[in-house]
Structure 1
Amino acid sequence: MISLYRPGDSPLHRAPAGAKLAGLAVLALAISLVARTVPTAAAALVLVCLAFAFGGFGPATWLRQLWAARWIVVLVAATQLVFLTPAEAFANTTRVVSVVMLAGLLTLTTRTSALLEALQRALMPLRHVGVDPWRVGFTLTLTIALVPVVGDFATRIREAQRARGVRLGARSVVTLLVMSLRHADDVADALGARGIG
């Protein structure tokens, strides 16, 4: 399992994984419902920045996470600008980025094993309707952990194209898709070898 956890002694590091998951859910919902204008969306991004500081991370870590999410920014902003005004597109894009950054902060301050255990406990009541808490928790944890991996693939593609003097284009998206699918196959093979499937 890919782990993005960075050891630390901040209040966020010490908080239980379940509480952090619940906090992420509440904050994501609040941001989605409240941050609908430029000022409130900007305030949400500032709140995320403060959350990183609360987790013991400086501006450099925050900026690295934002840089890793730049393709999400470009994709969301471009699609939003087709249908909405610039102000609405900014607010919607900022909301999405804020939630993605919060998820990144969760993975930075929480061990993957602790996240998996917390998700399993939260999903335990669903066993009565045929849901396997371990499989669902594992899938969600793996999904959260793989988001920055795809971001790293995008960075490597851009750096390779820059080294060759090639401009970004549709090929970049295809290359990113191919790399992501290959990685997904590798992960699936690794899980299959461990009897998880």
Structure 2
Amino acid sequence: MISLTSPVETWAHRWPAGAKLAGLCVATMVLFAADGLIFHAATLFGCIALYALPGHVFLLAGLRRLFVLWPFLAVIFVWHVVTGTAIEGAVIAMRLITAVGLANLVTMTTKLSDMIDVVKWLATPLRAFGLNTRALELSIALVIRFTPALAEKGGQLTQSWRARSAKRAKWQIVMPFTVLAIDDAEHVAEALKARGGL
């Protein structure tokens, strides 16, 4: 498992995690409430500018993490071109890139422990009803940590396929990828059980 936190120190690293997560929620609601093509083009440009401010190293690291969106963008593009709604497709694509980009920006500039502290604070009312919130806190941490790890393993499987075949890897890597994910989940479950579980 790896951390999403950027090694490049930026101005956003010093902002409170709660403020960044609240700002992300507001920005996402605004993105989904607006439909204008110019508005979404401007917000996408602004998002890219935020990545570029700390320097090219941070910009390239952020863009690499957004590259995983290309299959979804390709499906959106093809569908809307076929249905004759290219402008609507462009709005949806820019909305998706901007929303994920802002979320990625928050995770790159916020420590995982700080985000868990925010979740713990938000879940305080649930503990008043006797609910154990440790599972919620841990599950969020695991999702954030495992997502890039699984994406990296998927990339390794694709590279292994390309080394053995001239054809592009498609559904053939789904099963080994699933087995790898289950194997990682079992290892984590055993580690949690050995430490007392939840």
Coarse TM-score class (shorter-chain normalised):
0.7 to 0.9
The residue number in structure 1 matching 2:128 is: 128
- Identify which range, 164-173 or 108-117, moves more after superposition: 164-173
Alpha-carbon distance change, 64 to 191 in structure 1, aligned in 2, over 3 angstroms: same
Q: Distance in 2 between matches of 1:168 and 1:75?
A: 17
Alpha-carbon distance change, 6 to 42 in structure 1, aligned in 2, over 3 angstroms: same
Q: Distance in 2 between matches of 1:82 and 1:127?
A: 51
Alpha-carbon distance change, 133 to 58 in structure 1, aligned in 2, over 3 angstroms: same
Alpha-carbon distance change, 43 to 183 in structure 1, aligned in 2, over 3 angstroms: farther
The residue number in structure 1 matching 2:65 is: 65
Q: Distance in 1 between matches of 2:187 and 2:194?
A: 11
Question: Do structure 1's residue 169 and structure 2's residue 170 form an aligned pair?
Answer: yes
- Alignment deviations for residues 157-186 of structure 1 (CA, whole Å, 9 cap, x no partner): 222222222313222334433333332333
Q: Aligned-pair distance for 1:73?
A: 3.6
Q: Aligned-pair distance for 1:61?
A: 1.7
Alpha-carbon distance change, 111 to 153 in structure 1, aligned in 2, over 3 angstroms: same
The residue number in structure 1 matching 2:184 is: 183
- Alignment deviations for residues 97-150 of structure 1 (CA, whole Å, 9 cap, x no partner): 322222222221111111111111122123234443333222223222322223
Alpha carbons 1:116, 1:141 under 8 Å: kept: yes
| Count of equivalent residues | 196
* DSSP 3-state at the match of 1:132: coil
Matched residue type, 1:177: T
Q: Distance in 1 between matches of 2:86 and 2:182?
A: 33
Unaligned stretches of 5+ in structure 2? none
* TM-score, normalising length: structure 1: 0.79
Alpha carbons 1:37, 1:88 under 8 Å: kept: no
Unaligned stretches of 5+ in structure 1? none
Matched residue type, 2:6: R
Matched residue type, 2:12: L
Q: Distance in 1 between matches of 2:54 and 2:190?
A: 35
Alpha-carbon distance change, 83 to 181 in structure 1, aligned in 2, over 3 angstroms: farther
Question: Superposition pairs for residues 55-94 of structure 1, below 5 Å?
Answer: 58-74=58-74, 85-94=85-94
Question: Superposition pairs for residues 99-114 of structure 1, below 5 Å?
Answer: 99-114=99-114
The residue number in structure 1 matching 2:52 is: 53
Question: Do structure 1's residue 194 and structure 2's residue 195 form an aligned pair?
Answer: yes
Q: Sequence identity of aligned pairs in percent?
A: 30
Q: Aligned-pair distance for 1:79?
A: 7.0
Alpha-carbon distance change, 159 to 74 in structure 1, aligned in 2, over 3 angstroms: farther
* TM-score, normalising length: structure 2: 0.79
Q: Distance in 2 between matches of 1:182 and 1:44?
A: 40
Matched residue type, 2:173: S
Q: Distance in 1 between matches of 2:60 and 2:181?
A: 26
